[in-house]
Structure 1
Amino acid sequence: MQPSKARPNKPITAYRAKETMRKLVFGYFFYSLVIGLGFAILYPLIKLVPFVFNHLEDLGNPDVIWIPLELSVDSFRAASRLVFGNGIPMLQSVAYAAVIAMIQIFMCAVAGYSLGRVDFWGRSLVMFLVIVTFVVPPQSLLISQYLSFKHFDVFGLFSALGGGTIDLINQPYTLYVIALLGFGVKQSMFVFIFRQFFKGLPKELEEAAYIDGCGFYKTFFRIGLPNALPAIMTVGILAFVWNYGDTYYTGYFHPDGPYLSLKLMTTFAPANVNNILYAVRTWYDAPGATTFAFDAVKQAAALIFLLPLLILYFFAQKRIVENLEQSGIVG
């Protein structure tokens, strides 16, 4: 008696075919979405590269789209000459952003540690006010802030001792004072990040420190800050990026400062189009340069302006996402 041949299990075969088809369809739509979003994000940069490396007189030529007829760096040379000079303005802007970032890290760490670890009356109200400060647009507070720094006084002490208030508008140290007082760029958000991080620390660390005789400040500096490296890096990166490109606080409180963000905005204002075109035509012997040359120089200046941020991202890209997850910003 011969054994019967095993028949294929049709339900299993149909299920596998269905799963394979489902994965193919899902993969097709998923990768199409990823590729489409990636192209939409990268297209301006892809379009920008041949634009800024084109000859100034070929800009606007309908026959020159992706491949320049003649490679040229005149756009970058003009941008450097108009805005960056010998590189000192960029160094000043980087130094300013770094110092402000360090001030914000320290002040927000102290505030976040107090809100996250210290149980005091009114803590919920203070945290509510911090969130409100973050939600409310800064423009709505501009008049009160401007007047406060225009006639700066501390509980009337300056008026009583010196006979008047102090004008802090357009002073080199004004923005540092703003950061020290907790009103810097996105500073309420940084307080929230530190608060969320410190709130998640184990209580046993503090208890062990108190047993060893540490007070509040020793516990903060020896236990809180060393363990808050993810939050410190997150706040440091965000504070540096936002302060480096800020035009709101720098424009209103120190408009004469050496900030590249302000210099770019004023140099490439619409009123300066003819002046810049005249300079470009004269410097680089390009009498046929049009307004497209103005746009090319402006974009080249923007790329040079972004160099410190690109370098920062290049060295810190692996830690940025990890620190964002560990800092409590998603909590």
Structure 2
Amino acid sequence: MKLEKAYKQVKLDITETLAHRKTQKLKRLVFGQNVKDGLIAKLVILALLTVIAFLYVKPILYMISTSLKSVADMIDPVVGLIPRELNFNNYKDAWKGLNYPEGFVDTMTIALFGSILQVFTCALTGYALARLKFPGKNLFFFLILLAFLIPPQLTIVPLYMIYSELGWINTPFVFLVPALFGQGLRGALFIVIFRQFFLSQPKALEEAAKIDGASVFRLFFRIMMPLAGGACLVVFLFSFVWYWNMSYEAALFLSKDFTPLSLRLSSMQMELLGNKAINFSAGMGQDPVTEGPKMAGAFLIIFPPLLIYLIAQRWFTEGIERTGLVE
């Protein structure tokens, strides 16, 4: 009897232990050992990321869908995102209305050369603020931060007067010359990015190079710049996209002989169709005659920087992590 009771007790203890282990395993699976490791947390995060991704992708889907619709599909309320038939005439009209080859060259001239100049000058300035010792360094850094915080609308009038006296209006010099001196679009932000990156590098590299007799410029170009490849890529892509998409500054300084794509899009409707545009849905802010070409033109404009980012996204993400922007 005692052996039988002991056997039943041992069997009961084993059953309870196994049940407890299964319960704990199920809890770890659902809730996780930490809050973020559980199945519920992962499902919530996945749902949030899906919603955020949809909010970002939806305008692009609408743009592509509308650019492929005919006028009949635009008027028909039954047609949703998927058109009845693909209409590529909108892209032909947009290509013609934007004068895309000329606009592409004008925009690329500003975006490419302005970005390259900003990478070089902002890296040099950021290195000087991070590593070199000179009088007034903190004051210079404060002024750079102040330039970053001041809204550009406050400096537009004096800049326009200066550029007008120099004869730079309607030329790319209004963007390329400031970029040469580290004062292009968001130049102060890029200086801060490079400064933070160079501050994170070990001083032993510089000390070893100085022992070998390297000058400051040789140290910068032979050692520091190769290490700053990720930061350079981040700054280049940010600068390129901002130069490519700028419209406020371009509308003030460029309007006649040198016109980027962002300005051509705003005037494409009347240039392309003249008085043919009939506003069937003025209350909705859409014209079915011109909405397709406008969306096609918008997609043609965003496609080059989008393609560049798709190619360089892995290095861009690594550069973001190394520069400390995610901290």
TM-score range, shorter chain: 0.7 to 0.9
**CA drift at 1:48:** 3.2
| Aligned alpha-carbon RMSD (Å) | 2.4
Aligned letter for 1:8? E
* Ranges in structure 2 where 5+ consecutive residues have no aligned partner: 32-37, 279-285
Matched, 1:65 2:80: yes
Distance 1:278 1:169, change over 3 A: closer
Pairing 1:1-331 to 2, within 5 Å after superposition: 1-2=3-4, 3-4=7-8, 5=11, 6-9=14-17, 12-22=21-31, 23-85=38-100, 87-151=101-165, 166-256=166-256, 257-268=258-269, 272=270, 276=273, 278=275, 291-330=287-326
- 1:60–1:16 Cα change, 3 Å: same
CA contact (8 A) 2:64 2:299 kept: no
Task: Using the TM superposition, give the Cα deviation of residue 97 of structure 1 relative to its aligned residue in structure 2, in angstroms.
Answer: 1.0
Residues 143 and 77 (structure 1), Cα distance of their counterparts in 2 relative to 1, 3 Å cut: same
**Contact 1:57–1:293, Cα closer than 8 Å, also in 2:** no
Q: Which has the higher helix share?
A: 2
Please state how far the C-alpha of 1:279 moved relative to its aligned partner. 5.6
Unaligned runs of 5+ in 1: 152-165, 282-289
Secondary structure of the corresponding residue to residue 306 of structure 1: helix
Q: Secondary structure at the match of 1:292?
A: coil
For normalisation by structure 2, the TM-score amounts to 0.84
Q: Is the 8 A contact 1:175 1:254 kept in 2?
A: no
Which one-letter code corresponds to 2:16 in the other structure? Answer: P
CA distance in 2, matches of 1:32, 1:170: 48
Give the counterpart letter for 1:197 in structure 2.
Answer: F
Distance 1:316 1:75 in 2: 30
The answer to whether the Cα contact below 8 Å between 1:277 and 1:291 also exists between their aligned partners in 2 is no
Question: CA offsets, 1:22-62, max 9 Å, x none?
Answer: 34433443332222222222223333333221222331211
The CA deviation at 1:81 is 1.0
Distance 1:100 1:27 in 2: 42
Cα distance between partner residues in 2 of 1:24 and 1:311: 35
TM-score (norm 1): 0.83
Residue identity (%):
29
CA distance in 2, matches of 1:169, 1:92: 14
